[in-house]
Amino acid sequence: MPGARITSGERVTLRTVENEDIPFLQRAGSNPEIRYPLGNPLQNREQYEVSDDRNAPDRFLVCLEGDETPELLDDADDVTRIGCVSVADAHYKRPELGYWLVPEFHGEGYGTESLSLVVDYVFRQYDTPAVGAGVFDFNDASRGLLELLGFVEEGRRRKFMFVDGEHRDMVQYGLLREEWTE
């Protein structure tokens, strides 16, 4: 059974991540097209876990719903997982977003909708004046997405991490509450 639907856009829904979603997350997270842009280490399934730590990041699956039934209680198993969004560090500083879609679903606007939903979630859920996101400088698609939503480039940490064969700069973005809701 898919996790609980927590918010919906026109085309995608965000659902809680449950243990049954681990294989999807691990497979997608191992894909070089996803892993290298994020600078993530490889992990086996044991290293993924659904945390019960209340300070753990919020993590949501991005899903396409197989039918159009909008009811809350449907147990439809025909959701298609297409990515993941997360909100980290909200318990002590401005939250930091993470997001990815599997490559088959790039370029169709799902990313914009997903990221927009999670920004809405952040500003409704947390009393934070801003939200941030860091992207490696070679990740043009991800940077374009942030800029489209109004995120402001705030800096560039030079040679931040070794990713895909090179030392990469990390470009830092931020969005103030008043920049979003205006």
Site for a second copy in 36-95 (CB under 8 A): 36, 39, 41-47, 50-52, 54-55, 58, 71-73, 75, 91-94
Smallest distance, Å, CB 104 to a second copy? Answer: 7
φ/ψ of residue 148, rounded to 5: -60, -35
Q: 148 to 167, contacts with a second copy by CB under 8 A?
A: 152, 154-162, 164-165, 167
Smallest distance, Å, CB 134 to a second copy? Answer: 9
d(CA 88, CA 96): 5
- Kindly tell me which of 48 and 109 has the beta carbon lying closer to a second copy: 48
Q: 105 to 124, contacts with a second copy by CB under 8 A?
A: 123-124
Residue 142 interacts with a second copy (CB under 8 A)?
A: no
Amino acid at 37: P
d(CA 133, CA 88): 10
Q: Which residue has the tokens 């679903």?
A: 105
- Ramachandran bin of 90, using left for φ above 0, alpha for ψ from -120 to 50, beta for the remaining angles: alpha
